[in-house]
Structure 1
Amino acid sequence: MGTILVLGGTGMFGTALAECLRKTGTDYVLGVPTRQTLCEMQDQGHRAVLADFERPETLESALCGIEGLFLRTPLVPDIANWTVRAITAARRAGVRFIVRASGCGVEAEGSCGMTRLHGALDAAVRESGIPCCLVRSAPLMQDYATHYAPMIRDTGRIFLPMGMAATALVDARDVAEGLCRILATPEGSLGRSFMFTGPYALDNVEIAVILSEIVGRRIAYVPVDDATAEYAMVRAGMAHWTIDLQHGLNAAIRSGAATQVTPDLAAILQRQPTDFRTFANAYRQAWEPAYA
């Protein structure tokens, strides 16, 4: 097995994948966009090279001698061009396979902008001529311990525009482990698509009950409308094009698009994926008040 280039994944998700690859002894290198990030990753013990989506020559250099590419394009306005640049560089470098991290319920003719966007990017990978595996995943449990954590911790409320729809939330650590197994032994996965979900779907009322039991104080779910959600996203500094995509995704979730539970992740991990209560116990400090 040759070297895997992990491209576009230096945050929480990419770091978890890199740790899994390191533990399994898989030869990998992280592609990072800046010299500062390069030094940070090297300081953490990872092999890293400069690979900037906005500078195609760095992609070609990073992919030289690489056998497999893990591709997770950042959500930026130019995401389509960035993805095509990576695919083109991989083809020129003779990369043998691509594993792409995609989105939930994505189709090129999907019901919302986010699903259509990821569906088009998946199609570009499939049409590249390079053997590939597409891995789609449900929304992450970690959203509740990161993006939503200050709201939950400071107000005791979960304000989200998701109605009463249930979501088959998945633990990012399980997704990383599943991707690691595919990358380490890709032969049986190429030409296939997987949908990674948690073991069951939960609505936000049920999530609030679990969090209440774990932190020892009442957490409540308060459904909000899109206008209220948009106000919060604008105050948080989100770009308008991202907000538009998020509105579409929230509408898809409200319609039940994220309720499906699949056996794909369990089959690859050879165990049941992490349930939300187990996840929440591991992350409980995210919701505990600073004075506790």
Structure 2
Amino acid sequence: MSHTILVTGATGTVGSELVKALANRGLTVRAGVHSLIKGDRLKQLNPEVQLVEIDYARPETLHVALTGVERVFMLTPFSEDQVEIGKRIIDAAKQVGVQQVVKLSVAGAEVTPGIQLGRWHREVEQYLEQSGLAYTLLRPGGFMQNFLNYNGEDIRREGRLYMPIGDGRVSYIDARDIAAVAAVVLSATGPEHHGQAYTLSGPAAVSGSEVATAISQASGRPVSYVDVPEEAAAQAMAEAPAWLRGSMLELQRLYKAGHAAGVSPVVEQLTGCPPRSIGQFTLDFQQQFQPAS
């Protein structure tokens, strides 16, 4: 068995950071991508990164991607069939003799009855737990990068951050810190992380207003938080599939109720570095909050 690590979803927010973190440690990284063309930028990060196509509609591609792999970072797409995809990866990993699977889950997945997003992840977690494979579960809260990926256009164009979460505080985490934890777990030479479930968060829970203030200070332009009614948020997602719209609105209700404000010490415990604050995140990405010239 080689010491190759497969990262699925390698071009995504967390996956791309993890590929970089693992490559920087001198580890052999195989990046699972839906499109080899899109994966080219991963080769630019490190030419030693192996690119492999994974198309979940073609199981043979998953088998090829996993062959000769010792450890897997399992990041499944946010799709209606994400549970089936997760189970398919686990079955294939077991079939080819993978030694460890690190699953990217979600904070609160263990809570019952929880929300739909958590239940989807928990079903796959339980399947992994019962698989006989060594496993580690990473359960992060909301990503700071979502302020760029989903709110960035409104922030750049209007100077407004629209969210239906009232005064709810959330312990958002920087995806780079998730990747740092995953890199520690995947590069460990012993079984100390096997069977562990780690909840990951940023250093503090912040409100929408505080996020807007941090963006304002970093970008040097006024950005205001707008608490929109849930009906307006639902209307903004009117063209999205019902499963996606419903699960996102449910998550935002959780935020509004203050149930995502818990702070975990795990990032610093495992990496030796405190997690990045929202202020640090906005400073690091200040140019991406600026209006297009």
Q: Shared fold (TM-score greater than 0.5)? A: yes
Question: 2-side partners of 1:94 and 1:34: how far apart?
Answer: 26
Question: 2-side partners of 1:278 and 1:36: how far apart?
Answer: 32
Structure 2 vs 1, CA of residues 56 and 267 (structure 1 numbering), >3 Å: closer, same or farther? same
Assess if the C-alpha contact under 8 Å between 1:98 and 1:131 holds in 2: yes
Count of aligned residue pairs for this structure pair = 289
How do residues 114-153 of structure 1 correspond to structure 2 at under 5 angstroms?
114-153=117-156
Structure 2 vs 1, CA of residues 214 and 117 (structure 1 numbering), >3 Å: closer, same or farther? same
Matched AA of 1:285? Q
How do residues 262-281 of structure 1 correspond to structure 2 at under 5 angstroms?
262-281=264-283
Matched AA of 1:60? H
Matched AA of 1:256? G
How do residues 104-253 of structure 1 correspond to structure 2 at under 5 angstroms?
104-107=107-110, 109-185=112-188, 187-234=191-238, 238-253=240-255
* RMSD (CA atoms): 1.8
Question: 1-side partners of 2:40 and 2:290: how far apart?
Answer: 33
| Aligned structure 1 segments of 4 or more residues deviating by more than 3 angstroms | 34-44
- Given the alignment of the two structures, is residue 68 of structure 1 paired with residue 71 of structure 2, yes or no? yes
Q: Pick which of 128-137 and 25-34 moved more.
A: 25-34
Assess if the C-alpha contact under 8 Å between 1:115 and 1:249 holds in 2: no
- Per-residue deviation at 1:240? 2.5
Question: 1-side partners of 2:32 and 2:83: how far apart?
Answer: 18
Q: Pick which of 209-218 and 171-180 moved more.
A: 209-218
Question: 2-side partners of 1:4 and 1:187: how far apart?
Answer: 16
Structure 2 vs 1, CA of residues 131 and 224 (structure 1 numbering), >3 Å: closer, same or farther? same
Assess if the C-alpha contact under 8 Å between 2:83 and 2:121 holds in 1: no
Aligned-partner SS, 1:162 = coil
Q: Pick which of 102-111 and 157-166 moved more.
A: 102-111
Matched AA of 1:94? G
- Per-residue deviation at 1:212? 2.0
Matched AA of 2:260? A
Question: 1-side partners of 2:114 and 2:155: how far apart?
Answer: 30
Q: Pick which of 130-139 and 76-85 moved more.
A: 76-85
Matched residues, percent identical?
29
Structure 2 vs 1, CA of residues 199 and 39 (structure 1 numbering), >3 Å: closer, same or farther? closer
Assess if the C-alpha contact under 8 Å between 1:54 and 1:82 holds in 2: no
Superposed CA deviations along residues 247-290 of structure 1, whole A, max 9, x for unmatched, are: 11111111222100011111111021111111111111122222
Question: 1-side partners of 2:59 and 2:87: how far apart?
Answer: 10
Structure 2 vs 1, CA of residues 43 and 212 (structure 1 numbering), >3 Å: closer, same or farther? closer
TM normalised by structure 1 equals: 0.93
Question: 1-side partners of 2:29 and 2:150: how far apart?
Answer: 29
Which consecutive unaligned segments of at least 5 residues does structure 2 have?
none
Question: 2-side partners of 1:41 and 1:212: how far apart?
Answer: 31
How do residues 91-110 of structure 1 correspond to structure 2 at under 5 angstroms?
91-107=94-110, 109-110=112-113
Matched AA of 1:255? A
Structure 2 vs 1, CA of residues 286 and 190 (structure 1 numbering), >3 Å: closer, same or farther? same
TM normalised by structure 2 equals: 0.93
Question: 1-side partners of 2:191 and 2:126: how far apart?
Answer: 20
Structure 2 vs 1, CA of residues 38 and 160 (structure 1 numbering), >3 Å: closer, same or farther? closer
- Per-residue deviation at 1:51? 2.3
Assess if the C-alpha contact under 8 Å between 2:9 and 2:77 holds in 1: yes
Matched AA of 1:219? V
Assess if the C-alpha contact under 8 Å between 1:38 and 1:50 holds in 2: no
* Alignment match of 2:58 (pick from 33, 55, 63): 55
Question: 2-side partners of 1:190 and 1:260: how far apart?
Answer: 24
Which consecutive unaligned segments of at least 5 residues does structure 1 have?
none
